[in-house]
Structure formats: structure tokens, C-alpha cells
Amino acid sequence: MSEPSPSGSEKIAHEEETPCRSCKVGRLGFCRFFKDVLPDAPAPFYMGRQSFLRRRTLYTQSSSIKHIHVVREGWAFRYMLSQDGRRQILSYQLPGEIISPSFLFSSQPQFAGQSLTKLETCVFDVELIRRECQQDPSFLDHVIATCLSEKEDYEMRLFELGRCRAEERLARLILYLESKQESMDLKANDRIQFPLTQQDIADTLGLTQVHVSRVLREFRERELILSRQGFLEIKDANALRELATGSL
Amino acid sequence: MSEPSPSGSEKIAHEEETPCRSCKVGRLGFCRFFKDVLPDAPAPFYMGRQSFLRRRTLYTQSSSIKHIHVVREGWAFRYMLSQDGRRQILSYQLPGEIISPSFLFSSQPQFAGQSLTKLETCVFDVELIRRECQQDPSFLDHVIATCLSEKEDYEMRLFELGRCRAEERLARLILYLESKQESMDLKANDRIQFPLTQQDIADTLGLTQVHVSRVLREFRERELILSRQGFLEIKDANALRELATGSL
DNA sequence: CGAGTACTTGAGACGCCTCAAAAAGGGTGG
DNA sequence: CCACCCTTTTTGAGGCGTCTCAAGTACTCG
């Protein structure tokens, strides 16, 4: 359970400063904006790279934020933790995504962030990026749009948690993660990455791990999905969409 | 069920153009920023006032947004509606608040908005405000901060819906609406406004109206609260906070 | 006073939870 | 490659919280 210091600059590797325009995740998520707007990106706010093992803390509720991370490889997630240990996962970040875009506007998080899998990030200096926002309106627009799209995700999730059954919640989560990977070009021939444990799913959907196990079994028995070791195959997308219906 | 056209400019009254600095809600919520940043506010983007009866639609998922409303008097709320009629209430707006601040960045809402009580609003032209944002960075900052604070509310609500029992959800909603009114100077001697029906509460907290009725009765019997006709008195704030505990 | 809306109460059902223990998987070192 | 450990998943039995249906009561407002 030992954790690397979240902002220990001695841990940041400076070798290999691939410019965004030739980076393998350069066309994904937020990196795309970097690339489009700033010809020399990631200069000048780039601080190097950092890697994390599985399930390592990137920041906590009490962290003061000086750096932001953009995912290069692997998955990260944000979550809230109550004092008595209940966890609610808020969102997942895939390659190309900023782990917490709102840090660019306010530095006091009310949630924590972890690596879900082995993770590699590009690290940027918050202050320098803020300054860039002030000078470059179209860059600022991208940052705002990123924050707002997270807000829209939250709205869908509120509907899910408040008004959907377990089956529906799970179907929607699977389809959500599929479409996210599809839109980010991370989907390889019908198989999507699915590194969540059942406990992660439970803490995302407001269920218990045991119940998630049962609903997943049902999905498998009905041949809606097929899952093994970190990947998931959607066998019957129409039936899944049927289950997820009621939304808009 | 007849509804006033949400953007019918012929319905907008232009008389009485109180400047924000002498408006009775001028120090509340977003209006405060208007007042501070723009000496001549609400000019030049002010379009007049509009009033709505109880439970009237201000905009729907398919509206294209040209105006934004700021509450002068009464309450409004935003909600999502599924095709089969399930409703999830997302947030409430009190005097001084923009009914949907994110309209200033993207015009296609994925939710709907209604008046909760009789409602009076100031109407502004979205395009003109956007232009102001481009020219006045500190005004833009306020707008962004407003959007982000809604996002933080959502994060708390996700924890509530995903990880709290009915009792805890209700306690948190009551305390939330209390502190909101307190911070907006709308609280009069221990009594807060509480115009929600039990169905509204249910659709906010992911419960049924029947169950809300029972939990409310319990709260009353335990002398935690005392409610009548649109108002609510918090009799035992400590016990309520105890119930809402687990959060952070 | 009547009509509609909101709230209360009861009985029974169901979805999801809790607890518990066993099985399966995955990683590591010998 | 196997033995071991730790994490994750599966399965069962029973209980609780919340839902559904339904009917009756209390508001509120014209």
C-alpha cells in the first residue's frame, strides 16, 4: 500500500519529450486540442512524464493541486470517499483525457483520483496552463468544453442512479464505455477494454459487488456480453440498448 | 396545461428597468457578479422581465436557446425526463441564480427547465452575454465558477444517490437547501422556504413519493423538522447533520 | 362548496443487501 | 512449473428497504 508522492518532481522523467503532434495519443481527447492550438505543445508547460502502478493515489480531497495529468496509457478514475468508507466513483479517464479538467479553474478538489490500471501520464504545470488560457481564447474554449462535457456526463449518471434499475444501469455503463472508446478510436474489433473490477462497477452504479456479479451472470447467460480478463465483448448491442432504453 | 412560449419576446415586459445595483436581488448569487463587474448592468444585454405561473416549462430538451433567465422571485428547477416518463430533478434555482449557466457555452440542453413556484425572471440575450465574456475576463471567470460550482453539487448528489439511504438523502437535501438559502440571505429566523412537493423530493432523491412521505413523517415524529405550507423549520439541526454524516 | 392536487396509510411483493464461505484467477518466488 | 498468497468472483440463504397498488384523507383555490 505504499504510494508514490503525488507531486514528487523527482519522479518525473524528462527523457523522450515527444511533441504532441507526433504523440500516439495526440489525436485523442484533450490532446487533440493541445496539438491543434499549440504548435509547439507540450512546451512550455510540460513537466515530464510520470508512471503509476495499478491503484495508486494521484491526489486526494486534501491535496493542493499544482500539476495536472493527461493520460498517455492506461485508465484512471475519480471518486468520493466518505469517512465511513463508502466510495462513489464519479468518472473514468482514458488515454488523451485530462484526469481532472476543473483543476484548471479551482485547485481544491472535493474528490480523490487513482490509477485504475498501470498508468502513464504527461504532467503539466497548472499555473502555466492557466496563463495560456488567458492568452488564447480558443484554447480556453476547449478547456471549458471539456469541463462541460463532464458535467453532462454527470447529468446522465444522476438519471441512472436516481431512476434506473440495476440491469439498466449496467447496460448503460457498458454502452457508455463502449461509445467512449469508439469515439476515441480505442476500440479494436468489437472488443473493448474493461479493466473495472465488480467492486468498481458497484461503486460506480450504486450497487453491491455481489449484486453486480449476479447481473453480469445474467447478461452472460442471455448472451448479451462476453467478458474475460480486462476485456469485454458486446455480443448483442441491440438487446443492451433495449435494456438501457427509457433514457434520452 | 397551456404554456407561455419560452422565448416569445412579445411577452417580455420592459417597464421598470431597475439597474442591478439597486435591484433587490442584486447581491444574491450571480446577480452579485453582474453588479460588481458591469456598472451599467443589466444593460446592454437585458431583454426585460418575464413571469411564469407555477409549473410552467421554460425550455425543453429540444429547445434552441437564445435567452437565459435569472431568477428574480420564486424557484425554478432543471430535470431530465425519459421517454417512459421517469423524471430526475437535477437542481433548483433560487433568486439571483442563472437557471442554466451552461447555456452560455453550449446551446443544446439535454434537460428541461420549469418554474417550481410562481416565477419572475430577468431575461438576457445569450449572444450578447457571450460577447461580454470574450471581452471581460473577470466576468467570464464568474460564469465559469458558477458552472463549476454546479458541477460540484452534482458530485455530492452522485454520492448521495449512489451511496446513501433514504433517510440520509433527505437529511442532506434539507440541509443543502437550508445552507443555500442561508448563504443567499433568504433564510428568515429558522424557517426556510420549501416549496417542493413530495413528488419533487422523490424525483430529486431517487425515491417514490410514498416512501418520501413515510420518511418525512419519521423526521416529524422525531422532532427533527416541522413543515407546513411551503415552509420548513429545522428543529434539530445537529440530529439532521448526524444523519447526513458519512459525507465529507 | 366542489374539484383537483397533494398527502397519508396499509398490505404485500420484489429488488437489492448482508453475511458467509467456497471457488477461481493472477502474480510471485522458489 | 508448481506452490503459495492475495484478490476477485461465485453462490446460497435470509433479511431489509423501498416499491407497487390502492383507497382514503386533507389541503388549496377558485
Contact at 8 Å (CB) between A88 and A80?
yes
Residue B125 CB partners (closer than 8 Å, separation 6+) = B45, B47, B66, B67
Collect all residues of chain B within an 8 Å Cβ-Cβ radius of residue A246.
Answer: 82-84, 86
| Residue found by looking up cell 452472460 in the block | A220
Distance from the Cα of residue B111 to its chain's centroid: 14
DSSP string across B103-150: GGT----SSEEEESSSEEEEEEEHHHHHHHHHH-HHHHHHHHHHHHHH
B168, three cell numbers: 440520509
* Prediction pTM value: 0.93
AA identity, residue A134: Q
AA identity, residue B53: L
pLDDT of res. B96: 94
Q: How far apart are CA A200 and CA A234, in angstroms?
A: 19
Give the distance, in angstroms, between residue B233 CA and nucleotide D10 C1'. 49
**Number of cross-chain residue pairs from A and B with Cβ atoms under 8 Å apart:** 120
Q: Which of A214-223, B10-19, B199-208 has the lowest mean pLDDT?
A: B10-19
Give the distance, in angstroms, between residue A235 CA and nucleotide D17 C1'. 35
B208 touches strand D (CB under 7 A): yes
Nucleotides of D under 7 A from a protein CB: 7-13, 17-22, 27-28
pLDDT in tens, B45-100: 888 999 999 999 999 988 889 999 999 999 999 999 999 999 999 999 999 999 99
pLDDT of res. B14: 55
Q: Which stretches of chain A drop beneath a pLDDT of 70?
A: 1-16, 246-248
pLDDT of res. A3: 39
- Could you tell me whether strands B76-81 and B231-234 are parallel, antiparallel, or unpaired per DSSP bridges? unpaired
Nucleotides of C under 7 A from a protein CB: 6-11, 15-20, 25-26
pLDDT in tens, B222-246: 999 999 889 999 999 999 999 998 6
Contact at 8 Å (CB) between B202 and B173?
no
Q: Which of A213, A190, A180 has its CA nearest to residue A75? A: A180
pLDDT of res. B16: 62
AA identity, residue B156: M
Collect all residues of chain B within an 8 Å Cβ-Cβ radius of residue A161.
Answer: 158, 161-162, 206
AA identity, residue A166: A
Q: What are phi and psi of A130, to 5 degrees?
A: -60, -40
pLDDT of res. B90: 98
Nearest to A148 among B102, B156, B206 (CB): B102
pLDDT in tens, B105-155: 987 889 999 999 999 999 999 999 999 888 888 889 999 999 999 999 999
B209 touches strand C (CB under 7 A): yes
Q: Which of B114, B197, B192, B101 has its CA nearest to residue B154? A: B101
**3-class DSSP assignment, residue A145:** helix
